[in-house]
Structure 1
Amino acid sequence: MSADAAPLLPSGRVDERLLGAGTGPRFILLIVLFLTSSATVASAISQSLTDPRNMSVGCALAAGADPHGDYLGVGLATVRADKAFRACLDRFVPHASPWLVPSAVTVLVLVAVALYWTLPWWKQRNRRLVLVEAIDRHGELLSVLDELVDVAGLTRQPRFVVAPAARTASAVVFGRWRRHVVCLHGGLVAVRHRDPLRFRAVVLHELAHIRNRDVDITYATVALWRVFLFTVLPGYAVWTGLSLHVSLSSAVFGAPSLVATSRDMAATAAMIAFVFLARADILRTRELYADADAIRWGADPAGWLGATDRANRDRGRLGRAFWAFVSMWRSHPDWERRRRALGDTQELFRSSALTLFLTGATASICAGQLYGFGTGWMVRLAADTVAGLIAATVGVTLWRAAARAVLTGGRAPSGLRAGWWLGVGLALGEVLTGSVSGWRVLPRHPEVFALLVVISVVVTCWTAQFADLVLRCWRGRSLRPVFALGLLATLVVFAMSYAWWQSSGKLFAAGWPYSESAIRAALQQDLPGPALGRSTLTAIAVVMSVVMPWEADTSLLWAVTALWVLPLLAWASGATANTPTWVIRALPPGEDTLWQAGRLPSLRRLALAAALGAGSACLGVVVVLARLHAVRPPTGQMLGQQVLLLVTWLVVVLIGVVVATAAVTSSATPRIPVPAAAGAAGATGLAGVTVAFLLISADGCVSGLATLRTTCAWTPEAAWPLTEVVLPLVLGLAVFVSAFTAVAAMATRQLLRAMRPGTGDRGRRSPLRPPRNPARLNGPTRKAAVAVICLAALTLSTAASFPLDAGGRSGVRTSLTRENLAPAQTTTPSAEVLALESDAWLRLGGRKLLAAITVELLGIVTALEDDRALNDRGYAARVIRPHCLGLRTAAQQLGAYFPLPDPALEQRWPTLLAQARVIGADCRRAIDDGKQDLYVKSMEEILGVADRLRTILPQVTAEAGGHRSR
């Protein structure tokens, strides 16, 4: 059969219930948004009530936080003073009851439940509704309604009432769970005999809402929204106004608070708009499904033909644009769209840009609010739940569209458009929440928000193209198992990637969160040996600061492994030649089709690309080992820096080969480039890592490749720690980058095709041709090869998930801690901010500690004025020794306290405190052991410490005094 074969279903009719409607996760996302917003407002109000003096801000100021900076600067300041900051919060900030926020949210939910329970009564309160039995004396209308209830398959009879004053030929359904009311308008009852088709269509449409449980979830959302709108938002507005009034009275906090509060108000307004738009979009979709159900139950489509809509009139370009904008806010679709959906179910299998954008924006706001409650597994679980709702919403849409394309011979979605609008929504949500911009309108590096678009398009493109691939291979009775597997992969990949954004991506948007010099120092400390050049170490430090989060989290490795293992398994099974049962079940009654799964993109071509990539990766490993053998330090010297150089070059070379292989593969398989590129990239990286592990395990056995040893021995336990560092970067980060490379190439091809005149029709992909030799395509040899590759990938991922020792994952970067990598403060704050910081430093414990160390020094200096201080050991032990112990203790307490706010003074402060600790210990030891020389030396050094402290104290108190004088 040629490539121009006719569609499989010429009518284009596919069961609209295929894989569900996909609106359930969107409803749940709205409910989660209400709950998180309520919890955020309750937490903010409770914090202001329990901490009226705002001591938490005082602790941040004492730590060196600059309110004129951004959240990164504040975060780094608290990280630099991590233990002191937490001790300050524990001491001065009252802790609200942990049950306060859950209790407030619970009360709101209970109020919403009560409102949901009373909404039906309120809705019919003044409508003067009449029971159908009261106007149907002969029971004719009731018999028709009973028959329609049986057709709809309802297990519980709704209550039918009539609104005589309503003249429209329509109806409405309301009520609560298991107690629904169908209200027939008087106009509909009047036209029942004149237009029975319309009567049946309208009633079946309303019964479909009950069958689909639209009434319950709609009114639950309405109840939650009204409670939030009339209770939470007013409280938040009052709290915001009071906080802004207090902040504006301060010359230091006024401008930052104005920016932050203005953004919060804009975010609240945007959230209200998003909720209205999302709810209206969901309800419009549910209306279309109710129409389709009514048709499936026997309603005549002619019942919709008589309806008219003023939007159908020609209004001109501006009029149509205005009407499109107005339609976004309506809960019912216009009649033209409803008739279009009845004629072609494609309307029910596509997702609009508005839907995707709103999903991303509302989910981003939810995640930002959840991360505001702190850290820990509960917050991670909650954020993963939000990511799961995003993945479920988008994944269901893409799988449904792909299934329809397979059944009708149409064009399957590429996922690019869906990922773009989803990513834009996520980025806008981040801007509105201000989680990385703080007191700025935008963060320091807003271009990093593009990573959200990258994550979105990679996940959606893979999901859509994997669905297109696997649907042609699935032979089961139902799509549910394979759909669940594919959706689980999408959920895991997106959840892990989004969690990386929340924990690390935001830091890069706020600014550079790591210190290259600190990384260099940590590497030199952990990996001793002949030092590498400063430029080499700096380059390694920069790269490591970017890739550390990927290497540290093995869950990302598992997530990305799914991107390339699952497509390979689908390819190995091959396209099914016989009509699967799921296809027959997905067709409307009476619809016949000739199954044409088509020939999949050549597995041989994919295998050839992977083989070339694997060979290049192995060759690259050999070249790296040979090159490092030439620069190996002499025997007997430490090889720590050699290990660092080996790992770095292996990572760079293997990532380069993997990405290049993916680029070539995506060009050779333009139909489904992302799964193909991921599969070839994964196989290439697997081969490179395996060969590197084997050669390093046998290091020394091949003289020209020996890099760490000179004797031949098989030592896999020594090679695995290095492989464990390389593995997540090559089979995790590199494969993800490879998938994005395929996405970029696909987007470029589509852009060039669109710019080329006369290529609109050629842009559509024609149905795939049937396989020429299914037996050869599904040969056992290829299946065995794919099984071996997938098993090896799963084995390596499992091994990398378990540490080799009790201390954690085996690795070479034990000194790269959060505190060590925080860059030092290099800029001096303004005079106003420095005065506030110094005053907070003194008030929250600094003055007491300075007084303690001053008392001890003064006691020693006073005692030295006595002639017995240097000659009488008993006098020294009785008078000076206690002050020496006190000096050491006071210096230790000051060392554990906040650093000095002034960077100029802070440079001398740690050295001074270290000297005071050492001198105090030397003084005590000299007196106890009778070491006169050490005792005299310590006394001289104490006088020097006293002089240096005398020069620092006036500056600190003067800076704090500047705040009090304002």
Structure 2
Amino acid sequence: MSTATEHPVEPAGPRGDRADTGGPGTGPTGGGRAETGLRFALLMTVVTAASITMLNNALAPTPNDTPGDSLGCLLAAGIDPDGKNLTNTLVGTARPEALRECLSGVPEVEYWKGMVATAALLAVAALVFWWLPRWRERWHRTLPISTVDRDGGLAAELAELREIAGIDPRVRFRVDPARTTAGAVVYGRAGLYTVCLHNGLLVRRGTDPEGFRAVVLHELAHLRNRDVDFAWSSTALWRVFVLLALLPFLFSTGRILVTGLSGRSSSPFWPGAASLLTYSLLSGLVLVALVHLTRADLLRRRELHADAQAVTWGALPAGWDQPEGPRARLRRVGHLLRTHPGWAERRAALRDPDRLSAVGTPQMFLTGVAGSLLVNALEVIPRPAELGGNAWLTAALVAPVLWLVLRRSVLRATRQESGLRAGLWLGCGLLVGEWVSGSTSGNQWVVAEPAYLLALPLVGAVPAVWSAQSSRLEAAALRGRGPRVLAGLLNGLVTLVLLWGGLRWWQASGRFQAMGMTTEFDGFRTFVTQKYPGPWQDYAWELSTATAALPTLVELNRSTLLGVAAVLMVLLPLCLHARRPGSGLRVRRTLAAGAAGGLLCWAAFAVVSYALHSGRPGTLEERAGAFQYVQLWWLLLTVTAACATTAAWVAGASRQHWLLRALLASQVVQLLGYAGIFLAVSADGCLGPMDVYGSNCHWLPANGRIMVKLVLTDSVTTIPLFSACGALVGAGVVRGVRRWYEKSATPRALTPRALTPRAFTPAAVPGVVPATRSWPALMSGGLALAVSLTLLASTAVLHADGRPDTSSSAPSEETRKFLELLDTPPTARAAKIREWQALAWLSKGGLTRIGRVSDAFLALADALREAGDQKPGANGKIRLDSKEFSRLCSDVAKEAGAAQAYFRVPDADLQKKWSNALHRLDRSGNACVSALADDTAATGENGGDAFLLSLDDMPAAVKELTLVLAELHARAAPS
């Protein structure tokens, strides 16, 4: 390999008596090779995606301080580079149509420029990959093997080893006379592979022939596993990326940052852009560290697999008995930075066959960071990002890695693998990558609502735990190769969809909540109160929790594919258990726990119904609005909370397959909950103090079916996912409490029997078993219930039509501030920014729209002047052309409405004047049209007064627009 060490690497020990593994991807370590191959692909995809943005920025000229490009559209929209990230996000998206129209006039060449440059970079990397072997041979001045093989014995032995490994005879063997170490290196490309033996290895052949064979077989294993292609292609791409993309990007960004911080820049974007540029520099540096750490970890693991393959081919483990050397301690300190493990680690791997199958914490964390950087880097390509392509590509690279790692660990390792640690570290990597990318924090170092970031570990943990436990159940239930392959593929597909669903939810909803945009959801309050009128002041809590959870439910329920995966999370384990009932799922106990949870759900229905009954309105008409909505909300909330609480309880009380059992129990609760809803709603009116809506006793199954359908439609996807999160919380709390008890408890007597694990637990800690099955589970259930309360939304809002009307109800204080922010963007603090905002607002369409309003008004005024020059009729009045004047008045109203849809004036006071003037023009124009709709208006006998009265307010409104224009001109061109 290009970066191979000069010695064999840590092997995992023999895996059987087979002499051949059957090629890459099969045999004792095939799963590990596939996993590292996917991680190489993920890493190189991250580098390629990062190149688009970096080359785009590096090829751009000095930052344009004129609002003539896309930056001008943002300034015209009211963006303040020195303002808060949340405020800029809300203001920038307040007029999406206007922003889209403005940007449509800007040539979209930026990201295409970066993509073209990236394509050129890949072409250069391909050339480097093609020529690297030749350059290496010229640099090191290697010699053919025939120059040192006088009797031909070395060539014969190498040919024998090559046949054992099943390597193409075209592989060349060369010698590096300048290297005295007893090692070798393999390099090249397809059709031109070379194994270069160091001069010290030839000397070792005479003193330690088995060690010589071990080194050569190790290098041939690299060829068999195609490690050379991975290593050399990644080396070529990384070197070209650093030289042509990373360094120019860091230089250009750093130069801008230094210029701005030194005070030499006159740009209005200082100091607001400082944190953004710092984030860019930090992302580049973290990318360097990520690539190096990940590549080093991958190469170490590929070396381990090559050693395991060499041992399988007959290399003796004694060939790895080499001294550590004087720098062993120093090497152990920088272990993560090295591309090869030390001799001690190699020998430990020979003694532990499960080492290669164990889930490594660094590999999962680095995979998560790479996935997060990739999903954010791909957002630079607009169309695929809008369609969710970045989430799909990221999940398609990350999910197979997770699935292969867990599957190999479960099927090969002797230790229990729950997948929880791997999933949490993957999620932590997603979290760190999200912070480094700065996509949620913008120009602030800390997001407004950091608690939402805690959802990212769950995004990684849920699919990981489910995949690991399903794989373990599959290993116990299935024996044939065909059924195992089918079950494994279904496992991988569900894992892929679950991870994709989590990433897509984060992009579409979670990140905006983390940015602090939760107040936006209060706008749905008015929507609900308009659709379901009633005394909402009596149901403030229900309305707040429902509207706060709406974005999460909308995003989770919109995908049919995610819904199918949520159902398969329960059905696939059940099918495996049906194949072999003794697989350890304990279905009977799980069903009993689910039935108990269903009874608790019915009891909760009774409590909720009793509480609603005591406060229900007196008439059916009054119950049809807000009260009916609240009833639906509480039914949905109760079912979901009961399922999540039951899942937390079962997971906390189970030791094996705890997530699968929790999901199964929650589904039993869900079905019983639907049955309870059907019975309660169908018999509503016959339940006495638990009647919610009806007053007369009737059996109405149609009402029950409608209610069940509404609840089921919006919970069939969310309940399994929420239950899985509740199970993770429950299992985590109980296991944490259990470990705390085990550590804090002291044995009664320090006897050898008491110190054994089997005797220590029941004798020294008699209260552990009862405690783990009682109050810790209750605690976990309470946490799961709290999670459900904050994440659940109302079905009625999801299916209602129409738009919110802010005038139909009194909004909350947070809603009022939010609407004010959207209606009137805050005035920038810096005078320079206000100047550029005014100039951008005028040049990007403000002047055009004011001109159109002015032209429409002047056309109406000219028509009136011409009509005034006519001779009055017999009644002393002038006859008007009603169709013509109706058209002219309509033009005024239409142009006023078009101007109203343009960007808000980037000043609070001027925006109020602008909005008021346009509103008056729009109202006057429509009043004019209405007045002329009466035929008598044309004669002026009865409608003339209404027509003239409608025009009275227009001159004052136009004058106010003129004052706004003058103020903006003065601000855009200060003296």
What is the TM-score of this pair, normalised by structure 2?
0.82
Task: Answer yes or no: is the 8 Å Cα contact 2:102–2:844 preserved in 1.
Answer: yes
Distance 1:817 1:118 in 2: 67
The separation in 1 between residues aligned to 2:46 and 2:610, in whole angstroms, is 57
Q: Distance in 2 between matches of 1:903 and 1:559?
A: 49
Aligned pair in 2 of structure 1 residues 266, 168: CA closer, same or farther (>3 Å)? same
Pairing 1:462–2:462 present: no
Post-superposition shift, 1:910?
4.5
User: Deviations for 1:380-429, whole angstroms, at most 9, x for unmatched residues?
Assistant: 23322212322222332222222234xx4xx3133333233222221111
Q: Tell me the residue number matched to 1:792.
A: none
Distance 1:281 1:696 in 2: 59
The aligned residue for residue 442 of structure 1 is 446
Correspondent of 1:19 among 31, 48, 52: 31
- Do structure 1's residue 542 and structure 2's residue 548 form an aligned pair? yes
Greater shift after overlay, 682-691 or 372-381?
372-381
Greater mean alpha carbon deviation, residues 602-611 or residues 939-948 = 939-948
Higher mean displacement: 823-832 or 914-923 = 823-832
Unaligned runs of 5+ in 1: 1-10, 313-319, 577-598, 767-803
**Within the alignment, does 1:371 sit opposite 2:375 as a pair?**
no
Q: Which moved more, 1:687-696 or 1:707-716?
A: 707-716
Moved more, 29-38 or 15-24: 15-24
Q: Offset at 1:192?
A: 1.1
Answer yes or no: is the 8 Å Cα contact 2:427–2:461 preserved in 1: yes
Return the offset for 1:604: 2.5
User: 731, 756, 780: which one pairs with 2:719?
Assistant: 731
| Contact 1:168–1:187 (Cα < 8 Å) also in 2 | yes
Match of 1:958 in 2: 967
Q: C-alpha displacement at 1:49, in angstroms?
A: 9.9
What SS is found at the alignment partner of 2:347? helix
Change in Cα spacing, 1:560 to 1:906, as seen in structure 2 (3 Å) is: farther
CA distance in 1: counterparts of 2:951 and 2:126, whole angstroms? 71
The Cα shift of 1:124 comes to 0.7
Structure 1 partner of 2:656: 671
1:887 paired residue number: 892
- 1:754 and 1:653 mapped to 2: Cα distance? 36
Name the structure 2 match of 1:789. none
Spell out the pairing of 1:470-869 with structure 2 (5 A cutoff): 470-477=474-481, 480-528=485-533, 533=538, 535-536=540-541, 537-574=543-580, 600=584, 602-621=586-605, 624=608, 628=612, 631=616, 634-636=619-621, 639-693=624-678, 696=681, 705=691, 707=693, 712-715=699-702, 718-719=706-707, 722-728=710-716, 731-749=719-737, 751-753=739-741, 755-756=743-744, 811-812=799-800, 815=803, 823-825=819-821, 828-831=826-829, 832=831, 833-854=833-854, 856-857=856-857
Matched, 1:82 2:96: yes
Q: Does structure 2 retain, via aligned residues, the 8 Å contact 1:697–1:715?
A: yes
Q: Of 140, 150, 158, which aligns to 1:137?
A: 150
Give 3-state SS (helix, strand or coil) of 2:354's partner.
helix
- 2:422 pairs, out of 408, 418, 424, with 418
- CA drift of 1:608 comes to 1.1
Q: 1:930 to 1:835 in 2, by over 3 A?
A: farther
User: Cα deviation per residue 1:797-835 (whole Å; 9 max; x = unaligned)?
Assistant: xxxxxxx9xxx99822554799x9984416632343444
Tell me if structure 1 keeps the 8 A contact 2:928–2:950: no
Go from structure 1 to structure 2 and tell me whether the alpha carbon gap of 1:473 and 1:724 turns closer, same or farther (over 3 Å shift): closer
Residue in structure 1 matched with residue 457 of structure 2 by the alignment:
453
Displacement after TM superposition at 1:364 (Å): 1.0
Write the deviation string for residues 186-242 of structure 1: whole angstroms up to 9, x where unpaired: 111122122101111000000000011000111111111111111122442454357
Distance 1:643 1:48 in 2: 60
Q: 1:386 to 1:881 in 2, by over 3 A?
A: closer
Amino acid at match of 1:663: A
Q: Tell whether the 8 Å contact from 2:838 to 2:906 is kept in structure 1 after alignment.
A: yes
Is the partner of 1:403 in helix, strand or coil?
Answer: helix
Contact 2:77 2:904 in 1 (8 A): yes
Amino-acid identity (%): 29
Determine whether 1:61 maps to 2:75: yes
Report matched runs for 1:174-189 at 5 Å.
174-189=187-202
Question: Which position in structure 2 is the counterpart of 1:396?
Answer: 404
Match of 1:770 in 2: none
Corresponding position of 1:260: 276
Gap change, CA 1:844 and 1:489, over 3 Å in 2: same
- Cα distance in 2 for residues equivalent to 1:763 and 1:544: 49
> Quick check: 2:636–2:711 contact (8 Å CA) kept in 1?
no
Q: Secondary structure at the match of 2:187?
A: strand
After TM superposition, the structure 1 stretch with the greater mean CA deviation from structure 2, 171-180 or 865-874, is: 865-874
Distance 1:49 1:266 in 2: 21
Quote the residue 1:73 is aligned against.
Answer: 87
Q: 2:404, 2:291 → 1: CA distance?
A: 21
Q: Which residue is 1:275 aligned to?
A: 291
Q: State how 1:102-501 maps to structure 2 within 5 Å.
A: 102-237=115-250, 239-240=252-253, 244=257, 249-250=265-266, 252-312=268-328, 320=329, 323-376=331-384, 380-405=388-413, 408=414, 411-477=415-481, 480-501=485-506
Equivalent-residue separation in structure 2 for 1:886 and 1:651 (angstroms): 50
Q: Determine if contact 1:361/1:428 at 8 Å carries over to the other structure.
A: yes
- Paired with 1:952 and 1:158, the residues of 2 have a C-alpha distance of 81
Residues 555 and 690 of structure 1: is their aligned pair in 2 closer, same or farther, counting only changes over 3 Å?
A: farther
Distance between the aligned counterparts of 1:399 and 1:746, measured in 2?
A: 26
Higher mean displacement: 301-310 or 723-732: 723-732
SS in 2 for 1:438: coil
**Distance change in 2, residues 1:817/1:511 (3 Å):** farther
- Alignment CA distance shift 1:480-1:18 (3 Å): farther
CA offsets per residue over residues 544-571 of structure 1, 9 Å max, x none? 3554333444444333333333333334
Is the CA contact (8 Å cut-off) linking 2:376 and 2:439 kept in structure 1? yes
User: 1:888·1:918 contact (CA, 8 Å) conserved in 2?
Assistant: yes
Moved more, 601-610 or 461-470: 461-470
Q: Is the 8 A contact 1:50 1:96 kept in 2?
A: no
Measure how far apart 1:251 and its partner are: 5.6
Q: Cα gap change, 1:875/1:242 in structure 2, threshold over 3 Å: closer, same or farther? A: farther
Partners of 1:274 and 1:396 in 2: how far apart? 21
Moved more, 532-541 or 49-58: 49-58
Name the CA distance, whole Å, in 2 between partners of 1:306 and 1:375: 56
In 2 relative to 1, CA 131–729 (structure 1 residues): closer, same or farther, beyond 3 Å? closer
Q: 1:744 and 1:176 mapped to 2: Cα distance?
A: 48
Measured in 2, the distance between the counterparts of 1:12 and 1:617 equals 54
1:939 aligned to 944, 948, 965, which one?
A: 948
**Offset of residue 903 of structure 1:** 3.5
- Quote the Cα distance in structure 2 between the aligned partners of 1:660 and 1:762: 35
How many angstroms does 1:855 deviate by? Answer: 5.1
- Cα distance between partner residues in 1 of 2:950 and 2:380: 49
Aligned equivalents of 1:157 and 1:307: distance in 2? 35
Does structure 2 conserve the Cα–Cα contact (< 8 Å) formed by 1:419 and 1:460?
yes
Tell me, in whole angstroms, the C-alpha distance in 2 between the residues paired with 1:308 and 1:65: 60
CA–CA separation in structure 1 for the residues paired with 2:759 and 2:183? 43
Structure 1 counterpart of 2:632, which letter? V
Shift of the 883–157 alpha-carbon distance from structure 1 to 2, 3 Å rule, reads closer
Tell me which amino acid in the other structure corresponds to 1:87.
Answer: E
TM-score (norm 1): 0.83
User: Contact between 1:689 and 1:727, CA under 8 Å: does it hold in 2?
Assistant: no
Report the secondary structure of 2:477's partner residue.
coil
- 5+ residue gaps in structure 2? 1-12, 17-26, 748-753, 761-794
Deviation at 1:129, TM superposition (A): 1.9
C-alpha contact (below 8 Å) 1:398/1:464 kept by paired residues: yes
